[in-house]
């Protein structure tokens, strides 16, 4: 090989952890390769790889062992090379193949190569002389339009001259016009947004903005903004984004769910216009392709999106915002089990920029980072225009447990509150974090629960679909099905969900206009926007919803929030159950009284003396934290320890249990055989998962805990990369979850 031989480091989209070196043939030398896909020989087949960088270690290779790449797939990089250190960090931290990390980061439309740019015909004057002969009216209109507006798309030109297509072809043939194809972006936004005028910041907002901007362009700076609901955190984000853009930086904004994107996207577009891109799974493949391309082509400076937008291909980032940073939706539960909030902090560190985490109910982890001086703490204590926080009234549901039917869950206080609110022509929000009609259908003849055939879980009746559904695997069963054990048709519908609440509300308040907002009613594209629009236009009197309605939405007309049962998530076998419950209750309470009228909350619970309920009543995060942190410390849970979960699953119950026990023994042998691991790693399990069977697979788990992450991480790598496959084989899968969030 000559001295001009070019080597590149490539990762492949396979479950392998190595990076491979290839030679670039001279015919493929042209152009910059990092960030592009290439076709490479791998074993006996040709596969797609991602170029990470040019290889610097040419001298130590035997060129006979290094294979050449076959082809370069992309003309331009599909991700900026500056993201490669980010991908490598993720692969190492989450013990996940780097090729699979990049596959996760890229939208399917980009990854598959099947989606292409949309091309439209554009017309412009050729620059030569115009015809001397008398023009027809249509030809004159076409030429006059192009003189006035310059180059136009044929589609736009036809709005002025309906028969433009025929006229343009004739004028092009005569040499007077030039017709060309240009890429156009598919519009994911829908309606146009009128520009807004930035309001003057409050004194508290000004203080926060000033503190953060002192660090703009000066390296990595993490902040936690704790702001009560309605305190104007979004306005703070926009003013900081404006300052960053003015200095030539790009901005990344993360929100926890797609339902929230439309609201924050509209506000950013009203302020910043067309330089806003959005990224989320609700877009069509063509829309995602175009939004990703706009960012890589540097046609936009602001990217807004849900969890996966943390991979947005921005360069020169000055500010990363994570709104509702406490939200569990930032944790990905399938494939690469990353936490987008944590990755936002890592990306900010690698980009040397500001990261601002915002929430009215901060996570225990983030608040602990403030107390340990890892983050800088900022606060907004007052609502905009000094609007008061809603008054929260706690109702003890134990006083209603002898009532029959839905009256067990609709206290007299709640019914009276709804009546009074409706009489004032104001709106009501009813919150229950469980969808469906009945969550525990049971045979009244033999007592057998109606269960999923694939999962160790009860089915939920969905009355609108006339079917029982499994919320884990999606299995459905006709609603008129008899008991699988005794054949009886007498199925008692215990438990409740948003469907049952909706039915009850329509019975109790027959004249009210009622809508439901949960994952069943928002499947279709645009359904969330329609519900929110109807709410803002007062076409809805009572909105019933799950946690979708609790997160960040601004409903000025809602003055009463009714929390049907505040205890549903308190009893989960998860050390974060109290934190999750407090966040939900405080957030949904904050939806009340954001307009001109004072708000109130009726919080129904079976545990009125629980510290979580008491703290949520006062919307007092500090009092909640002070009690919760004692429990965390006593039991050595995060933030006082790090955790890694090893999950095993298989179709054979006995074999899965055997392999779990064997891997558990391997963990204990590794721990006891090393003085370092013996002191630094705690092995809990293996134990059967709380939901022992999901989608036909039996589940076991091993929990690793440690005070220091480095030895814990090293321990997990040995188990997963060196031991697990040998012990478990192909029929029992092993998945690693670093910093697990859901323990069930």
Cα dihedral: 261, 264, 270, 271 (round 10): -130
Q: Looking at the domain assignment, is residue 465 inside a domain?
A: no
Residue 102 covered by a domain:
no
| 240 and 309 both lie in a single domain | yes
Find out whether 433 and 563 touch, Cβ atoms under 8 Å: no
Q: How far apart are CA 155 and CA 362, in angstroms?
A: 49
Residue 410 lies in a domain: yes
Q: Is 94 helix (H, G, I), strand (E, B) or coil?
A: coil
The answer to whether residues 335 and 215 belong to one domain is yes
Q: Are 35 and 78 in contact (CB under 8 A)?
A: yes
The CATH number of whichever domain residue 734 belongs to comes to 3.30.70.360
Residues 535-580: pLDDT tens digits?
889 999 999 999 888 776 777 889 999 999 998 888 777 889 999 9
| CATH code of residue 16 | 3.40.1440.60
Confirm if 251 and 317 have CB atoms less than 8 A apart. yes
The closest alpha carbon to 286, from 180, 182, 187, 181, belongs to 187
- % residues pLDDT > 90 (the chain): 68
Contact 339, 254 (CB under 8 A): no
What are 138's two structure tokens? 């249509």
Given a cut of 90, is residue 184 above it in pLDDT? no
CATH classification at residue 566 = 3.40.50.300
Please report whether residue 464 resides in a domain.
Answer: no
Q: Are residues 216 and 248 in the same domain?
A: yes
Closest CA to 498 of 406, 433, 413: 433
pLDDT value of residue 61: 54
- Residues 376, 229 within the same domain: yes
Check if the beta carbon of residue 41 is closer than 8 Å to that of residue 87: no
The verdict on 30 and 170 lying in the same domain is: no
Residue 163 phi, psi (nearest 5): -100, 35
| 460 lies in some domain | no
Is 584 in the same domain as 657? no
Domain end point (choices 385, 403, 429): 385
Same domain assignment for residues 331 and 401? no
Same domain, 660 and 534: no
Cα Rg of the chain, angstroms: 29
Judged by phi (left if over 0) then psi (alpha if -120 to 50, else beta), residue 263 lies in alpha
* pLDDT band of 261, cuts 50, 70, 90: confident
Query: Are 342 and 286 members of one domain?
Result: yes
Looking at the structure, do residues 396 and 372 belong to the same domain, yes or no?
Answer: no
Total domains present in the chain: 5
Residue 60 scores a pLDDT above 80: no
Residues 655 and 587 in one domain: no
Q: Which spans in 115-257 are helix H?
A: 137-149, 154-160, 164-173, 203-213, 233-246
- Domain-embedded: residue 207: yes
Q: Is 55's pLDDT higher than 90? A: no
Q: Which domain holds residue 219?
A: 203-385
What's the confidence (pLDDT) of residue 619? 87
Boundary (domain end) residue, out of 184, 216, 236 = 184
Are residues 542 and 430 in contact, defined by beta-carbon separation less than 8 angstroms?
yes
- Residues 611, 583, single domain; the answer is yes
- pTM for the model stands at 0.91
Classify residue 192: in a domain, yes or no: no
pLDDT at 190 exceeding the cut of 80: no
Instruction: For 117-156, write each residue's pLDDT tens digit.
Output: 888 899 999 877 776 667 788 888 898 899 888 999 998 8
pLDDT in the model for residue 578? 93
Residue 706 has pLDDT above 90, yes or no: yes
Residue 491 belongs to some domain of the structure: no
Task: State the Cα–Cα distance between residues 172 and 181, nearest whole angstrom.
Answer: 14
Q: Which of 344, 370, 385 is the last residue of a domain?
A: 385
Q: Beta-strand (E) ranges in 25-92? A: 37-42, 45-54, 71-72
Judged against a pLDDT cut of 60, whether residue 45 lies above it is answered with yes
């Amino acid at each position: 090989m000559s001295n001009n031989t070019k080597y590149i480091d490539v990762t492949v989209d396979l479950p392998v952890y190595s990076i491979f070196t290839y030679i670039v043939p001279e015919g493929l030398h042209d152009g910059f390769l990092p960030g592009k896909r290439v076709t490479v020989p791998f074993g006996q087949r040709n596969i797609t790889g991602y170029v990470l960088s040019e290889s610097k270690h040419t001298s130590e290779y035997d060129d006979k062992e290094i294979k050449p790449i076959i082809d370069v797939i992309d003309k331009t990089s599909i991700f900026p090379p500056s993201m490669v250190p980010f991908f490598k960090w993720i692969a190492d931290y989450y013990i996940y193949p780097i090729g699979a990390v990049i596959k996760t980061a890229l939208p399917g439309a980009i990854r598959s190569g099947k989606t292409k740019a949309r091309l439209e015909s554009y017309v412009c004057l050729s620059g030569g002389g115009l015809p001397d002969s008398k023009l027809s009216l249509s030809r004159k209109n076409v030429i006059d339009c192009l003189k006035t507006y310059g180059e136009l798309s044929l589609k736009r030109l036809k709005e002025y001259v309906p028969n433009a297509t025929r006229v343009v072809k004739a004028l092009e043939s005569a040499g007077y016009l030039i017709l060309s194809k240009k890429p156009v972006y598919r519009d994911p936004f829908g309606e146009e947004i009128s520009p807004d005028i930035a309001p003057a910041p409050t004194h508290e907002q000004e203080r926060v903005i000033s503190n953060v901007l002192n660090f703009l362009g000066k390296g990595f700076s993490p902040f936690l903004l704790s702001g009560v609901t309605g305190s104007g955190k979004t306005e703070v984000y926009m003013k900081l984004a404006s300052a960053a853009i003015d200095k030539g930086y790009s901005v990344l904004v993360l929100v926890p769910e797609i339902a929230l994107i439309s609201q924050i996207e509209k506000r950013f577009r009203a302020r910043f216009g067309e330089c806003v891109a959005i990224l989320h799974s609700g877009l069509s493949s063509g829309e995602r392709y175009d939004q990703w391309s706009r960012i890589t082509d540097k046609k936009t400076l602001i990217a807004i999106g849900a969890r996966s937008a943390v991979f947005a291909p921005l360069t020169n980032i000055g500010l990363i915002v994570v709104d509702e940073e406490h939200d569990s939706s930032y944790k990905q539960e399938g494939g690469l089990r990353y936490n987008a909030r944590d990755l936002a902090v890592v990306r900010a560190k690698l980009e040397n920029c500001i990261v601002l985490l915002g929430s009215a109910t901060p996570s225990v982890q983030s608040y602990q980072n403030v107390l340990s001086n890892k983050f800088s703490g900022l606060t907004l204590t007052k609502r905009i225009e000094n609007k008061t926080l809603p008054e929260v009234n706690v109702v003890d549901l134990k006083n209603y447990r002898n009532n029959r039917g839905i009256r067990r869950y609709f206290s007299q206080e709640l019914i009276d509150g709804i009546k009074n609110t409706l009489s004032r022509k104001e709106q009501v929000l009813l919150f229950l974090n469980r969808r469906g009609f009945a969550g525990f259908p049971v045979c009244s003849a033999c007592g057998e629960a109606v269960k999923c055939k694939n999962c160790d879980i009860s089915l939920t009746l969905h009355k609108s679909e006339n079917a029982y559904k499994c919320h884990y695997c999606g299995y459905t069963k006709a609603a008129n099905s008899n008991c699988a054990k005794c054949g009886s048709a007498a199925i008692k519908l215990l438990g409740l969900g948003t469907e049952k609440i909706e039915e009850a509300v329509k019975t109790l308040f027959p004249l009210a206009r009622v809508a439901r907002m949960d994952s069943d009613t928002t499947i279709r594209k645009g359904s969330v926007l329609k519900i929110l629009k109807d709410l803002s236009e007062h076409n809805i009197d009572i909105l019933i919803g799950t946690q979708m309605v609790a997160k960040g939405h601004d409903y000025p007309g809602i003055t009463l929030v009714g929390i049907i049962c505040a205890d549903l998530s308190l009893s989960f076998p998860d050390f974060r159950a109290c934190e999750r419950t407090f966040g939900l209750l405080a957030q949904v309470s904050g939806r009340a009284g954001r307009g001109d009228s004072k708000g109130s909350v009726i919080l129904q619970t079976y545990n009125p003396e629980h510290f979580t309920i008491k703290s949520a009543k006062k919307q007092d995060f500090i009092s909640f934290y002070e009690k919760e942190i004692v429990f965390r410390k006593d039991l050595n849970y995060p933030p006082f320890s790090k955790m890694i979960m090893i999950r095993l699953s298989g179709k054979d119950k006995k074999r899965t249990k055997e392999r779990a026990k064997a891997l558990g023994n391997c963990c204990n042998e590794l721990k006891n055989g090393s003085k370092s691991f013996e002191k630094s790693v705690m092995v809990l399990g293996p134990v059967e998962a709380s939901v022992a069977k999901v989608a036909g697979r039996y589940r076991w788990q091993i929990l690793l805990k440690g005070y220091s992450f480095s030895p814990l991480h090293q321990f997990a790598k040995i188990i997963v990369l060196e031991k697990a496959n040998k012990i478990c084989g192909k029929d029992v899968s092993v998945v690693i979850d670093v910093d697990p969030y859901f323990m069930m």
